[in-house]
């Protein structure tokens, strides 16, 4: 299944158009349709009903997420970018150059692209469940960096990270930006970070984490007036129809998102506008008017809390870089 790089491909420097490669790609996440249906049905039949956030990302979901990052209300992306720009050389000096750069949940690969010059990775490995979108992103990245060895991995890491041998034995710099770690509960995050530490082969971690802040700012970031986040959430109904064989109507559900101050997390839900039944081959779930399907959590951390989590996961040397408002943290860990 490994698609090889182009003939005569060789590493020179990243701007060398004479040695154009094609990205290698390994599709390790073979969607077992029956297992996916069983997972979705179990979630819908639970109380409260739920669907895992990984199902938000198909080709359209990935595009809608990219649109969210452009919104003025969605501060995490631009704040993280500002921290990267302010501390790039310092962070690269701390983490070291020449590693294999492993991008977890790579999406458009844009953030990693911004690090190539500073980190000079020997190889770029992009991991994502949204494979159609990832393949396209990697083709664009390869055009911009013709000599960079690239490996794409179609992989679901929700239950822990296990990278294939094809990634190679060298130390890996694990890159997990965008505060995606917040989609795990704190206990799951610890288990995931342990698997990331193990998979790094001593190479280190660069991770973006959203911090606890005032509720109004957080609520607006996940419920923008233009309705882009609502479209991202409601796209899940189309996924349910496709993967489970439901006939859910997008117009029957509202997007609901709010910060739960006690739990320090954003919750995202799809709320039924009227009493309705979601039916699929072999099952159904009745929803009362106002009843919700829980689709995502995004946990927020304090700087001290997340640094402690990293140490507990096995990273000994941890540094945090932040913005003047201390809204977001970029942690470099070895």
Ligand X SMILES: C[S@@+](CC[C@H](N)C(=O)[O-])C[C@H]1O[C@@H](n2cnc3c(N)ncnc32)[C@H](O)[C@@H]1O
Give me the residues that bind ligand X (CB under 6 A), please: 54, 57, 62, 65, 69, 105-107, 111, 127-130, 155-158, 177-178, 180
Give the torsion sign (CA, 219, 222, 223, 224).
positive
Residue 59 CB, nearest approach to ligand X (Å): 10
Q: Are 73 and 82 in contact (CB under 8 A)?
A: no
For ligand X, the closer of residues 130 and 295 by Cβ is 130
Lookup: tokens for 173: 């710099």
Q: How far is the CB of 284 from ligand X (least distance, A)?
A: 27
In the complex with ligand X, the residue whose CB is nearer, 134 or 147, is: 134
Cis check: omega of the bond before 113, within 30 degrees of 0: no
Between 175 and 253, CB nearer to ligand X = 175
Question: What's the closest the beta carbon of residue 286 comes to ligand X, in angstroms?
Answer: 29
Judged by CB, which is closer to ligand X: 69, or 100?
69
CA 50 centroid distance within chain: 19
- Name the region of 161 (left: φ>0; alpha: ψ -120 to 50; beta: rest): beta
Q: From CA 168, how far away is CA 9, in angstroms rounded?
A: 18
CB 306 within 8 A of CB 333: no
Q: Are 93 and 69 in contact (CB under 8 A)?
A: no
Nearer to ligand X, 147 or 197 (CB): 197
Cis peptide before 202, with omega less than 30 degrees from 0?
no
Which of 231, 276 has the CB closer to ligand X? 231
Provide the minimum distance between the beta carbon of 250 and ligand X in the complex, in angstroms, as a whole number: 20
The strand order across the sheet containing 24-27 reads 24-27, 150-154, 123-128, 100-104, 172-176, 205-210, 328-333, 318-322
Report the residue number, 107 or 204, with the smaller CB distance to ligand X.
107
CB 116, CB 148: distance < 8 Å? yes
Provide, rounded to whole angstroms, the least separation between the CB of residue 157 and ligand X: 4
CB of 134 to ligand X, least distance (A): 7
Closest distance between ligand X and the C-beta of residue 130, in Å?
Answer: 4
Nearer to ligand X, 183 or 197 (CB): 183
d(CA 61, CA 231): 9
Structure tokens at 297: 């959590």
Least CB distance from residue 107 to ligand X, whole Å? 3
Q: Do 307 and 318 meet the contact criterion of CB atoms below 8 Å apart?
A: yes
């Amino acid at each position: 299944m490994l698609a090889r790089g182009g003939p005569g491909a060789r590493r020179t420097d990243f701007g060398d158009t004479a040695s154009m490669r094609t990205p290698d790609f390994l599709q390790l996440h073979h969607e077992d349709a029956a297992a996916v249906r069983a997972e979705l049905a179990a979630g819908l039949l639970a109380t409260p009903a739920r669907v895992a956030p990984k199902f938000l990302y198909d080709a359209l979901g990935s595009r809608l997420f990219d649109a969210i990052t452009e919104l003025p209300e969605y501060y995490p992306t631009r704040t993280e970018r500002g921290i990267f720009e302010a501390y790039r050389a310092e962070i690269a000096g701390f983490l070291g150059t020449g590693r294999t750069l492993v991008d977890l949940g790579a999406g458009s690969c844009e953030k990693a692209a911004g690090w190539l010059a500073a980190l000079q990775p020997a190889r770029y490995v992009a991991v994502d469940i949204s494979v159609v979108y990832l393949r396209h992103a990697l083709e664009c990245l390869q055009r911009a960096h013709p000599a960079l060895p690239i490996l794409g991995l179609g992989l679901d890491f929700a239950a822990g990270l296990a990278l294939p041998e094809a990634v190679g034995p060298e130390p890996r710099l694990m890159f997990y930006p965008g505060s995606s770690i917040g989609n795990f509960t704190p206990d799951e995050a610890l288990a995931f970070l342990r698997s990331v530490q193990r998979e790094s082969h001593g190479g280190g971690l660069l991770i973006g984490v959203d911090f606890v802040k005032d509720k109004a700012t957080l609520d607006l970031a996940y419920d923008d007036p233009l309705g882009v986040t609502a479209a991202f959430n409601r796209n899940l109904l189309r996924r349910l129809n496709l993967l489970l064989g439901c006939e859910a109507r997008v117009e029957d559900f509202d997007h609901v998102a709010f910060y739960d101050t006690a739990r320090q997390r954003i919750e995202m839900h799809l709320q039924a506008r009227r009493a309705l039944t979601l039916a699929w081959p072999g099952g159904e779930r009745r929803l009362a008017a106002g009843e919700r399907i829980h689709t995502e959590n995004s946990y927020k951390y304090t700087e001290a809390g997340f640094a402690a989590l990293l140490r507990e996961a096995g990273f000994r040397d941890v540094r945090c870089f932040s913005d003047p408002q201390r809204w977001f943290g970029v942690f470099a860990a070895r």
